[in-house]
């Protein structure tokens, strides 16, 4: 067998596709909070909707070329909030990739900024957008903002998509969130959660990002919650993320089997069931966890999303990859100049 449904990236940041090659930070970050301050919180401030369009389009195309047909995105662009979720959704639609959007509400820019984030989530959902209510993280939000986000999600019958206990700075998140969470919430990272944290929802494990930020190993087998896999914005190659999830699990417990990490990858289909009907034909005939855990270079030959072939003969049938790359490079230059 060499086919699977479309793979799902359960946590992505399409706004980060153009971060590659950005100027070095003003000083070398020594921990998680400084990484946020020197890289991501500078980058997100410099985004406008035009740059965001190319960032999302490039990210969607790079997801597709790895067989990922559905992305659960978490977005922030504090100086271009209004309309941003629709820009991401439209860019993905042009490539043909499915997306679930959320705007990461935060009080980092004062209560007025938080309000604007909530309004963007509401505007997008009200217009029939496929999404959730986003929250950056408890440690950058007031109680009032957390409660408003939870309330808005309930109103639209969707979950909240929130970073939780990624770094030590947010270790107190569970205490502040446990009366709010529901089964349809997406709890991202959970590195510093206690085993019995009392939060409901799916925990999304992002092994490469956790290594990259030096925050430690989440060791997700210790949780009762369902576990899914995300990339946290470092591409959307889900077979690669699965292999890395397995390697980290194995590093922690040498008796670990790849069936567990495969289960985490498969949980993406519970979060984004539409992807089950997508069909990816791979260049490798052993689609089972033990083979894939040790096989690099597995790539899609053909991809159908809905009933449309969107990838064939190594390229997109809908967009011209060289044009997307050229326009994205131009947008990246503009973005990097602002930094
Ligand atoms: Zn994230």
208 Cα to the center of ligand 1, angstroms: 12
What is the residue range of 268's domain?
3-338
Q: Are 278 and 306 in contact (CB under 8 A)?
A: yes
> What is residue 1's predicted lDDT score, i.e. its pLDDT?
75
Q: Are 41 and 32 in contact (CB under 8 A)?
A: no
Q: Are 101 and 73 in contact (CB under 8 A)?
A: yes
Q: Are 162 and 185 in contact (CB under 8 A)?
A: yes
CA distance 192 to 185: 18
**What residues in the chain have per-residue pLDDT under 50?**
none
pLDDT, tens only, 85-137: 999 999 999 999 999 999 999 999 999 999 999 999 999 999 999 999 999 99
234 Cα to the center of ligand 1, angstroms: 10
> What is residue 26's predicted lDDT score, i.e. its pLDDT?
86
CA 126, 59, 16, 167 dihedral sign is positive
256 Cα to the center of ligand 1, angstroms: 26
164 Cα to the center of ligand 1, angstroms: 10
CB atoms within 10 A of CB 52: 26
Domain count, the chain: 1
DSSP string computed for 234-272: S---HHHHHHHHHHHHHHH-TT--HHHHHHHHHTHHHH-
Query: How would you classify the pairing of strands 3-4 and 279-282?
Result: antiparallel
176 Cα to the center of ligand 1, angstroms: 19
What is the reported pTM? 0.98
Which residues have C-beta under 5 Å from ligand 1, the single-atom ion?
232
41 Cα to the center of ligand 1, angstroms: 12
Which domain CATH number covers 239? 3.20.20.140
């Amino acid at each position: 067998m060499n086919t699977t449904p479309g793979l799902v990236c359960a946590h992505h940041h399409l706004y980060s596709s153009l971060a590659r090659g950005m100027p070095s930070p003003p000083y070398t970050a020594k921990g998680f909070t400084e990484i946020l301050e020197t890289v991501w919180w500078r980058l997100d401030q410099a985004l406008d909707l035009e740059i965001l369009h190319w960032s999302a389009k490039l990210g969607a195309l790079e997801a597709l070329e790895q067989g990922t047909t559905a992305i659960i995105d978490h977005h922030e662009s504090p100086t271009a909030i209004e309309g941003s979720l629709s820009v991401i959704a439209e860019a993905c639609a042009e490539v043909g990739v499915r997306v679930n959007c959320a705007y990461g509400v935060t009080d980092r820019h004062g209560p007025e900024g938080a309000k604007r984030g909530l309004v963007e989530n509401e505007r997008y959902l009200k217009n029939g957008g496929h999404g959730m209510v986003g929250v950056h993280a408890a440690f950058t939000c007031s109680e009032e903002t957390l409660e408003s986000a939870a309330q808005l999600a309930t109103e639209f019958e969707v979950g909240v998509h929130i970073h939780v206990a990624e770094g030590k700075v947010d270790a107190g998140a569970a205490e502040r969130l446990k009366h709010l969470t529901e089964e349809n919430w997406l709890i991202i990272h959970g590195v510093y959660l206690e085993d019995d944290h009392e939060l409901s929802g799916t925990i999304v494990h992002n092994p490469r990002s956790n290594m990259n930020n030096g925050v430690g190993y989440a060791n997700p087998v210790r949780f009762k919650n369902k576990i899914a896999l995300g990339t946290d914005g470092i591409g959307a190659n889900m077979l690669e993320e699965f292999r890395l999830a397995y390697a980290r699990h194995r590093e922690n417990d040498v008796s670990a089997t790849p069936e567990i990490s495969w289960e985490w990858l498969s949980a993406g289909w519970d979060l984004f069931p539409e992807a089950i009907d997508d069909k990816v034909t791979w260049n490798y005939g052993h689609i089972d966890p033990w083979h894939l855990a040790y096989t690099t270079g597995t790539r899609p030959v053909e991809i159908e999303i809905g009933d449309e072939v969107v990838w064939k003969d190594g390229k997109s049938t809908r967009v011209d990859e060289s044009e997307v790359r050229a326009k994205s490079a131009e947008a990246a230059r503009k973005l990097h100049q602002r930094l």
